[in-house]
Amino acid sequence: MARGFRQKIRQTNTENSGFGDNASGRFINKDGLPNVHRKGVDILNRFSWYHTMLDLSTFQFLSYLVVAYVMVNILFALIYYLIGVEHLTGIDKSDPMNEFIDVFFFSSQTFTTVGYGRIAPIGFMASLVATFEAFLGLLTFAIATGLFYGRFSRPRAYLKFSDIAVIAPFKNASALMFRLAPYKNNSLTDADVIVSTAIEVIEESVPKSKFYTLKTQLSKINTLALNWTVVHKIDEDSPFYGFSEEDFKNTDIEIIVHVRAFDEVFSNTVVQRTSYVTKEIIYGAKFVPMYYPDKENLSTILDLGRINHHQKTDLPVFMEEDK
């Protein structure tokens, strides 16, 4: 995959990436999570269900809660129905569908400990199931409340990254660029970025990933209010020095981005990650501005819909050194 680019990489690779040189595939997904699948442990120990529920989108989280709530009540309604509706007072016995509907709503009232009283259990088995369901409902809502609070109070960076990175002209040379911007009204200060890259090379006919730290023109800013275009100049100290357009297209490259900032409201440090692979790097392009003054020229408009907007451009011709 690297096709002889080993001699073009002049920077010394780093060993503190956290990934081995024989790891395969994408290292960091677009959502910032490592692309690692664990085996050797059972599914109950493989996942932290608390972290999983916190990382779900709002729609997924609410959907899981609603579906779980309905399924639990259907399960208990079936149990009550199997015990016999004659062990529940106030049931409409005009037809089986009305019986099941009444039993379902009795289950939901018991599960939430509302207990309107129109329907009540009679006998040991129905009362035992209702007691267990009420206890389970208390535990479930306690867990759901904790998850709601955890999702609401969890500090997050709320950064939107461009879907692409570009190779653009920069100071009589070229540079790798991508950009990011806050998309909510949180206040981030002391933001810094760490950029590294994984480049696949061939050593003794074996593909291996080499990791390099990419120096950026500006690695820290005091306030992250508008968009931030991160720039890595491709010079003699860059692992991409001497790479042509074909080199960028034919080499397996992954740009790994780690952003850390201080959230003033939560008084805590927030972190967000992402990555760019070969197909997401556009050669010979530059970003167009994504913010502009309003009509009254009294404030600045940050248009997040333009974060990926770019245009084609020419790059300086690289003259490779004589060997």
Asked if the model's pLDDT at residue 267 lies above 80, the reply is yes
Asked if the model's pLDDT at residue 7 lies above 50, the reply is no
Report the candidate in 186, 189, 168, 190 with the shortest Cα–Cα distance to residue 177: 168
State mean pLDDT over 150-158. 88
State mean pLDDT over 235-241. 91
In the chain, ranges of CATH 1.10.287.70 domains: 57-153
Q: Is 176 exposed, middle or buried (0-12, 13-18, 19+ CB in 10 A)?
A: buried
| CATH 2.60.40.1400 matches 27-38+157-312 | yes
Query: Residue 6: what pLDDT?
Result: 44
What's the CATH number of domain 57-153, 1.10.10.60, 2.130.10.30, 1.10.287.70, 3.40.50.2300?
Answer: 1.10.287.70
State mean pLDDT over 11-19. 63
Asked if the model's pLDDT at residue 60 lies above 90, the reply is yes
- Whole-angstrom CA distances from 320 to 18, 74, 121, 284 are 33, 71, 86, 18
In the chain, ranges of CATH 2.60.40.1400 domains: 27-38+157-312
Asked if the model's pLDDT at residue 85 lies above 90, the reply is no
